[in-house]
Amino acid sequence: MKSLKRHLPWIIFVVALFWSLSLGRYAMGPVEVIKLLAARMGLEHFVGHQSPEMQLVFFNIRLPRILMSIAVGSGISLAGVVFQALFRNPLAAPDILGVTAGGCFGAALSIMLLTHLALGVQGSAFVFAIAAVSIAYVIANHSWDKSSSVLVISGVVVSAVFQAGLSMLMYFAEPYDQLAKIVFWTMGSFHIVSWAQVKTTLPLVVAGSCLLTVFGWRLNIMTQNEEDALSLGVDVNKWRLFYVVVSTLMVASSVAAVGSISWVGLIIPHIARYLVGADHKRLVPATAVLGGTFLLIMDTIARTISASEIPISIVTSIFGAPFLGYLLMSKKGGLSAGERAS
């Protein structure tokens, strides 16, 4: 029973992946999907030739989007688990250091000024997301208090400034064109995803996820009191910088590609903790798998339920928020689990 619970994330992931691959506005069932994949793997002789239109929809539209939703879901959930451990705060989310506010500001700025550049919006969002977190880090570093809570406060400060900047840009935006684009971008969506975005986002997210999985065990020490960690010979500040840099790169590349996505980074670590416990050795990979699965399912709903797309943050909030409520009432899980890492 216990091993089933541990393997549950993987089982759900495989089922969700196959389900998602065979769903979409373009009618293409599981049989066609298997044939398409088999044909691509050189088994065309056995499964027959598939129509070029179907190949195009599957390989150029559906597949990059699915890969992207898995990567982004894993990336921001991992950042969530890292931040909850670093700040010993169950409500810490990946955007706590201003990465989302910075990214949204960068995107809006580019929508207003650099619309002709290919990947201009994505590039600008990425740069400003990194800049926001760097500023927060510099402010915290200049404080006499070296505790992690100062970093959180400077994150709040930076978020507020970039949020104000975003509001100002929206005030000056041309309402019939630019403003609509900015609003849509801040709500996040996967419907614009193509291989170009996958190529720029996936390497960072995969590399970051591997690093965090390999060094996940150290987060157990980071959740303890800073004096205790120091007494174990761990340089808390150095490791904190390492985790913040890796998480920020992952979240910034995600936000830059698909806009801001709410709830996922906050809630997935809690669900994972409920399933595999608070030991980061197991918690980190479980969070990555669950985050990818959750966003994959949410995006499949967003793109199939009606002919018009539903912004992804609406779907993640509708399903994510009640689930967090359920966890709050549940005796087994529990938000304080983040502080009980062994």
Q: In terms of CB distance, is 24 or 334 closer to another protein?
A: 24
Query: Which of 192, 206, 245, 314 contacts another protein by CB under 8 A?
Result: 192
Element (H, E) at 282: helix 280-304
Comparing CA positions, the residue from 93, 63, 69, 62 lying closest to residue 297 is: 69
Q: Could you give the C-alpha distances from 153 to 104, 157, 292, in angstroms and in order?
A: 20, 6, 29
Contact 269, 80 (CB under 8 A): yes
Contact 293, 9 (CB under 8 A): yes
Looking at residues 294 to 313 of the shown chain, list those that interact with another protein (rule: CB under 8 A).
303, 307-309, 311
Binding residues for another protein, rule CB under 8 A, total 36
Instruction: Count Cβ atoms below 10 Å from residue 32 Cβ, excluding itself.
Output: 17
Query: Which of 60, 141, 143, 225 contacts another protein by CB under 8 A?
Result: 60
- Binding of another protein at residue 107 (CB under 8 A)? no
Q: In terms of CB distance, is 1 or 27 closer to another protein?
A: 27
Q: In terms of CB distance, is 136 or 298 closer to another protein?
A: 298
Cα dihedral 284/270/310/168 (nearest 10): -90
- Binding of another protein at residue 319 (CB under 8 A)? no
Contact 216, 283 (CB under 8 A): yes
- Binding of another protein at residue 112 (CB under 8 A)? no
CA angle 129, 134, 136 (to 5 degrees): 100
Q: In terms of CB distance, is 148 or 316 closer to another protein?
A: 316
Query: Which of 1, 3, 171, 331 contacts another protein by CB under 8 A?
Result: 171
Rounded Cα gap, residues 27 and 337, in angstroms: 44
- Binding of another protein at residue 180 (CB under 8 A)? yes
- Binding of another protein at residue 41 (CB under 8 A)? no
For another protein, the binding residues (CB under 8 A) are 24-27, 52-53, 56-57, 60-62, 65, 111, 115-116, 171-177, 179-181, 184, 189, 191-192, 194-195, 303, 307-309, 311
